[in-house]
Amino acid sequence: MEEVTRRMTRAVWMLLALSFCPFSPSSSSRTFQIDYDNDCFRKDGKEFRYISGSIHYSRVPRYYWKDRLMKMHMAGLNAIQTYVPWNYHETIPGKYDFTGDRDLESFLKLCNDIGLLVILRAGPFICGEWDMGGLPAWLLQKKSIVLRSSDPDYLQYVDRWMHVFLLKIKPFLYQNNGPIISVQVENEYGSYFACDYDYLRHLLKLFRYYLGDEIVLFTTDGADQTYLKCGSLQGLYATVDFGPGGNVTKSFKAQRYAEPHGPMVNSEFYTGWLDHWGQKHSVIKKEIVAKSLDEILALGANVNMYMFEGGTNFGYWNGANSPYLPQPTSYDYDAPLSEAGDPTEKYFSIRKVIGKYKKVPAGPVLPATPKFAYGLIQVKKLQSVAGLVNLLSFSGPVKSVYPLTFVEMKQYFGYMLYRTTLPINCTKGTPLASPQNGVHDRAYIMVDGVFQGILERNKVIPINITGQAGSTLDILVENMGRINYGGGIHDSKGLVTNLTLASNILTGWTIYSLNIDEAVARGYLTKLQKGQRLTPPAEVNVPSFYLGAFKIPNGIPDLPQDTYLKFPGWSKGQVWINGFNLGRYWPARGPQITLYVPAHILSTSAVNNITVLELENAPCVGELNTNCAVEFVDTPVLNGTSAYTSLHSRTFNRYSWHA
Ligand SMILES: *[C@@H]1O[C@H](CO)[C@@H](O)[C@H](O)[C@H]1NC(C)=O
Ligand SMILES: *[C@@H]1O[C@H](CO)[C@@H](O)[C@H](O)[C@H]1NC(C)=O
Ligand SMILES: *[C@@H]1O[C@H](CO)[C@@H](O)[C@H](O)[C@H]1NC(C)=O
Ligand SMILES: *[C@@H]1O[C@H](CO)[C@@H](O)[C@H](O)[C@H]1NC(C)=O
Ligand SMILES: *[C@@H]1O[C@H](CO)[C@@H](O)[C@H](O)[C@H]1NC(C)=O
Ligand SMILES: *[C@@H]1O[C@H](CO)[C@@H](O)[C@H](O)[C@H]1NC(C)=O
């Protein structure tokens, strides 16, 4: 069976390869339009309805794009929907990256080759449980900037980005023989406080200027008049979002408030739901999803399933909700295709429902990709972060009386080290505090290399520290991801207000930007381990690096395969394999226990390197380095129990946190 499928896939790919040709610029008879008289879309003049699924190219390695898109095609979808995260492409102001995993044009070509139309959600803001909703954090260099508004400080950067990006996608519009049938402007703007129609009008003009008059432009908002009021604008077709289990007719009625005529469109029909660290893993039953999908399709409506393939927040790309609750590394979403792209029972239920309304491609469906348990890998402590600060901080420290934020230091992700000395003797435990709740988001505190405690955002509880006047106070601050929804998206990260020790405001800081990703990718840490013998600090519970190496076994066919990384006894941190940042792990809080490791980052010819940055507590014991291991397993665990109860825990509310 498996071999048959593989052969079939190869055949399909040979066909695709033959049929591929760049889109010709000549005008064609291809049209995609809204028919207001008959409440439907028209493609090439014929009535058309899309059944689409969301996949974010930024959350799936390019290596697997084909595999996932083929599976979406096999489910009976005729379109996919994707977000374009601005901050993924313009990481440095004025410099654009569309290479490798960021190669949007190749992704669009692939969709076209497979026969999937594309609904492009162009931003500038996307939400999407993505850091800062896709806005680049460098926008915050101007402190007074009003994001997502007609503030000229904001618009000048929007205009510059859109000039580059919209010109890039123009050849991919349906009218130009490409796959893009419609383009979304902004995202759920009705959920944002600004309600600035001039901003939406500006975007409308900009999109029309670059993309022309023919392309269908649309907006998306929660299925309620209160959202549609500030989210919709004449000239942008208003669509709605709603999940399964509710009254479908009633939800589409909300769309009719903004669009009395035209096709019914649910732009985000939730197949699952997102997770937060410290909360239960979200699961939505396939029966509920199938029933509501059936109802939507029976009404003749258009639908996009959010997500169809969730993928992974690799590196530091996860967002957060407010009151501050960051999302984990996995964006599995309990979607019909798992985080690793495997068809689930939900996938087959959905395929069956779609089959009632249109012909789905004949099977067999591509199978799950094989997974391999490479087993326990011993790692060894290298040094604490503070002990390696000169190696990790490429630009050297900056001195400042009061703390500077990440944005002020022009470091936008990851970790920074703040160093000062204790101004007073703290022989008895003395309270160190952030009275204005300015630790964004988590601070690991050491005095003369000895761990003292953790300050966490929204927990305004001081910790007691001990040390002599003049002792070195080191504070490693982690940015755990920017808020992606609502009013809190403006966040500079780091120590954003002063810290106090007893009644003293701490001053005289030496602040280190840390280039951890670059140092890991360039092998600096591995070289250090091989070179001079460092004496590792005795403490196991200060933020430190642990290194390991492993070989892919010989004699087993089809290796390397995907795997999952587990952290038995470890607490919280970040992990890299061969310089690829897999994301954050936090089994001590959950619910995510294993991290997804895609096969393409593993090497069969060279020894694979693993770098673990443990922030709290490693399980390693004594000289013999006992228990100091991570483990590769062949099944994911995303629903681990979470011991943590949030101080600001709130009830699970499907409509307060839109995707
Ligand atoms: C669903 O909503 C419609 C329109 O508001 C209403 O007429 C209908 O009775 C509702 N159905 C159910 C089962 O509540
Ligand atoms: C701290 O205590 C030491 C002796 O324990 C003393 O010599 C020193 O003057 C004290 N420093 C301050 C700033 O109080
Ligand atoms: C810090 O010390 C004070 C006074 O001794 C005590 O009341 C408080 O509970 C301590 N706080 C922590 C977090 O241990
Ligand atoms: C830190 O304290 C100083 C002195 O009171 C004050 O001028 C400064 O504004 C404070 N910084 C922040 C970010 O609150
Ligand atoms: C692992 O690190 C070693 C030493 O830096 C290097 O020679 C090797 O190529 C690395 N392996 C991979 C797969 O990158
Ligand atoms: C987690 O999911 C697995 C597989 O679906 C299930 O067997 C297990 O009971 C779940 N555990 C918890 C704590 O919900």
Which ligand has an atom closest to residue 594 CA?
6
- pTM: predicted TM-score of the whole model, two decimal places: 0.93
287 is catalytic: no
Distance from C-alpha of 282 to C-alpha of 332, rounded to nearest angstrom: 10
Q: Is the Cβ atom of 607 under 6 angstroms away from ligand 5?
A: yes
With a Cβ cut-off of 6 Å, ligand 6 is lined by: 639, 641
CB-CB contact of 52 with 304 (8 Å):
yes
Distance from C-alpha of 655 to C-alpha of 90, rounded to nearest angstrom: 31
pLDDT of residue 13: 42
Structure tokens belonging to residue 271: 């197949």
Q: Which helix (H) or strand (E) holds 525?
A: helix 524-530
Q: Which helix (H) or strand (E) holds 377?
A: strand 375-384
Residue tagged active-site, from 129, 188, 309, 614: 188
Which residue's CA is minimally distant from atom 5 of ligand 6? 639
Peptide bond into 221 cis (omega under 30): no
CB-CB contact of 627 with 619 (8 Å):
yes
Q: Is the Cβ atom of 497 under 6 angstroms away from ligand 4?
A: yes
Q: Is the Cβ atom of 500 under 6 angstroms away from ligand 4?
A: no
Contacts of 161 (CB under 8 A, 6+ apart): 86, 89, 90, 124
Q: 12-31: b or e for each residue (b if 16 or more CB lie within 10 Å)?
A: beeebeeeeeebeeeeeeee
- Give me the phi and psi of 255, to 5 degrees please: -65, -35
Kindly give the number of the ligand 1 atom that is closest to the alpha carbon of 247: 1
Q: Is the dihedral of CA 606, 596, 81, 659 positive or negative?
A: negative
Distance from C-alpha of 583 to C-alpha of 506, rounded to nearest angstrom: 32
105 is catalytic: no
Distance from C-alpha of 419 to C-alpha of 392, rounded to nearest angstrom: 15
Of 32, 20, 69, the residue nearest 176 (C-alpha): 32
The amino acid at 379 = V
pLDDT of residue 652: 34
Distance from C-alpha of 239 to C-alpha of 222, rounded to nearest angstrom: 9
Q: Is 367 left (phi over 0), alpha (psi -120 to 50) or beta?
A: beta
pLDDT of residue 532: 60
Kindly give the number of the ligand 5 atom that is closest to the alpha carbon of 579: 14
Q: Which residues does residue 633 pair with via DSSP β-bridges, in sequence order? A: 564
Of 302, 294, 327, the residue nearest 313 (C-alpha): 327
Of 380, 315, 316, 377, the residue nearest 545 (C-alpha): 380
Residue 368: Cβ-neighbour burial (10 angstroms; 0-12, 13-18, 19+): middle
Angle made by CA atoms 343, 348, 354, in degrees to the nearest 5: 125
Kindly give the number of the ligand 3 atom that is closest to the alpha carbon of 463: 13
CA of 284 to the centre of ligand 6 (A): 13
Which residue's CA is minimally distant from atom 11 of ligand 1? 247
pLDDT of residue 653: 35
Structure tokens belonging to residue 593: 């226990």
Of 516, 481, 412, the residue nearest 136 (C-alpha): 412
Which ligand has an atom closest to residue 507 CA?
4
> How confident is the model over 12-48, as pLDDT tens digits?
444 444 444 445 544 568 999 999 999 999 999 999 9
Classify 197 as helix, strand or coil: helix
Give pLDDT < 70 ranges for the chain.
Answer: 1-28, 532-540, 642-659
Whole-angstrom CA distances from 425 to 10, 186, 444, 445, 499 are 71, 54, 20, 17, 17
Whole-angstrom CA distances from 71 to 17, 180, 309, 348 are 18, 19, 10, 11
Kindly give the number of the ligand 2 atom that is closest to the alpha carbon of 425: 1
Parallel/antiparallel/unpaired status of strands 237-241 and 265-270: parallel
Q: Which residues does residue 173 pair with via DSSP β-bridges, in sequence order? A: 180
pLDDT of residue 63: 98
DSSP letter, residue 369: P
CA of 464 to the centre of ligand 3 (A): 6
